Amino acid sequence: CRPTLALRLKGVTFLAGRGPLACPLTSGVLPNRRRRQPATSYGLAGMRRLLAATFRSVDLEAERLSARRSLAEAERPMAGRRRAEEMRALVRLRRRQVAGQAALLSEWRQRLATLRSETGQLADSLAALSVAAEAAADSVRDNCSSLRVGQLELQQARGQLANQRQAWFEQLAEIFRLGDESIADVPLPMSKRLEGRLSSAEEAKYAAAFGMTAQLTQLIASVMDCPLRHSLICRGSKSLVRDDVILNFADREFPLYSRGKERSYFLRGVFLLNLNIYGLWCNAGLNTRRPPNLRATAQNLRELLGYLAGQPSDNVLPASENSDRSLCPLGFHIERPLNPAASELQQQQASDSEAAVAVAAAATSVAGSTESAGADCLLPRPGTSPSALSVQSA
């Protein structure tokens, strides 16, 4: 075999011989049937052409690369300018943002300065208010001390007034000497006994007794500072009682004596006098759930006067009910003498409770009607109403 030249370009093997190659058929060499691909061989001219084409493709690729480089170099300034413009726009945006933040910061600084000035003013005002509060607290303490002194003085005055009232009631009890059916040793019978026929001597005695009873009732009402439902005209044995509530009678004044008068008018006057005593009974705090016999004038008056003079009574209401002055807003409040051994705290609590009762009574009296304030206060509780009794008597 002749030597051959083998070239491999792009995965292809080229065989080139120096002379003409022998044909396998003419040389008697059978071709290898086992080959899957026939071997390719080129000649020198083909190899040259192939190399020339390859070189041209390499040159074209080099030209393309150089063109790309030149194009990239030409586009590089444009990209830089574009990038610079983008950076300038971003810088301008950042500057605007920073300017807005600076303006907002200046605004908040102004607000902070305003708040600081207002805080300073508030601090000054608070200091002034603190000074005023301290002065007010000192004034309140002084007023409290003076109020305590005034309360003690008021309580002492109330105790003295209670002692004086009790002494007056004791003197009245000694002067009038009330019995079961007598006053100042003068017979004072029950109103039931007055319905029969009376002698002239009995009429004179009863007129004097009812005159003293009217005078004692008016004195008790004056000391209690409690108005009477039916006003009394004290003229000794010629005393009268006036009725401005029930208008069934032509005359408004009813006598407390029977001589020269109609018996019905005399009995009406005695009944009105008993209603006045019952009104004082209610205002003094005696039990009205067990009402007394209105016909027992002397007994009712004696029990009332004894209770006001400090004597024990079985008809006294409990403390919880006795403190309620709903029967009469202008009702008399029983004052007891002060206990010297009582503590100052107990005295202050007692004065506070009395002040609260007085305020409640004043509010109730203001809220009530002025026309019925002096009349309805003497009415008993439902079931024993003097007005109902007066209507029945009329």
Q: How does pLDDT run across 253-304, given as a tens digit for each residue? A: 899 988 777 788 888 899 999 999 998 988 888 765 666 788 888 888 888 8
Q: Give the chain's mean pLDDT.
A: 74
162, exposed or middle or buried, with CB in 10 Å at 0-12, 13-18, 19+?
A: middle
Contacts of 393 (CB under 8 A, 6+ apart): 267, 268, 271
Nearest to 320 by CA among 274, 353, 281, 282: 353
pLDDT tens by residue, 39-50:
556 677 888 888
Using N-to-C axis directions, what is the helix angle for 263-283 and 297-308, rounded to 10°? 20
285, exposed or middle or buried, with CB in 10 Å at 0-12, 13-18, 19+?
A: buried
pLDDT of residue 239: 92
Contacts of 173 (CB under 8 A, 6+ apart): 305, 306, 309
Q: Is 323 helix (H, G, I), strand (E, B) or coil?
A: coil
Domain range annotation of the chain: 177-393
Greater confidence (333 vs 210) lies with 210
Q: Residue 63 is encoded by which pair of tokens? A: 């030209």
- The strands making up 232-233's β-sheet, listed across from edge to edge, are 232-233, 240-242, 253-255
Spatial contact of 204 and 259, defined as CB atoms under 8 Å apart: yes
Res 364 pLDDT > 50: no
Residue 245 CA to residue 312 CA, distance in Å, equals: 34
For residue 312, the one-letter residue type is P
pTM assigned to the model: 0.50
Q: Residue 32 is encoded by which pair of tokens? A: 């290898």
Spatial contact of 379 and 385, defined as CB atoms under 8 Å apart: yes
Greater confidence (31 vs 238) lies with 238
Phi, psi of 278 (to 5 degrees): -65, -35
Greater confidence (383 vs 267) lies with 267
Using N-to-C axis directions, what is the helix angle for 200-224 and 44-176, rounded to 10°? 140
Phi, psi of 8 (to 5 degrees): -125, 115
CA dihedral 95, 100, 101, 102 (to 10 degrees): 90
pLDDT of residue 149: 92
Mean pLDDT of 148-162: 91
Q: Which residues sit opposite 5 in a β-bridge?
A: 16
Q: Is 317 helix (H, G, I), strand (E, B) or coil?
A: coil
232-233 and 240-242 beta bridge pairing: antiparallel
Return the number of other C-beta atoms located less than 10 Å from residue 230's C-beta: 22
SS3 content of the chain, % helix, strand, coil (to 5): 60, 5, 35
Q: Residue 387 is encoded by which pair of tokens? A: 């007005």
Q: Residue 291 is encoded by which pair of tokens? A: 């009402």
Spatial contact of 380 and 288, defined as CB atoms under 8 Å apart: yes
Largest CA distance in the chain: 202
Strands (E) across the chain are located at: 4-9, 12-17, 182-183, 186-187, 232-233, 240-242, 253-255
Greater confidence (48 vs 241) lies with 241
Nearest to 220 by CA among 326, 315, 300: 300
Residue 211 CA to residue 237 CA, distance in Å, equals: 5
pLDDT of residue 17: 53
Nearest to 375 by CA among 297, 293, 279: 279
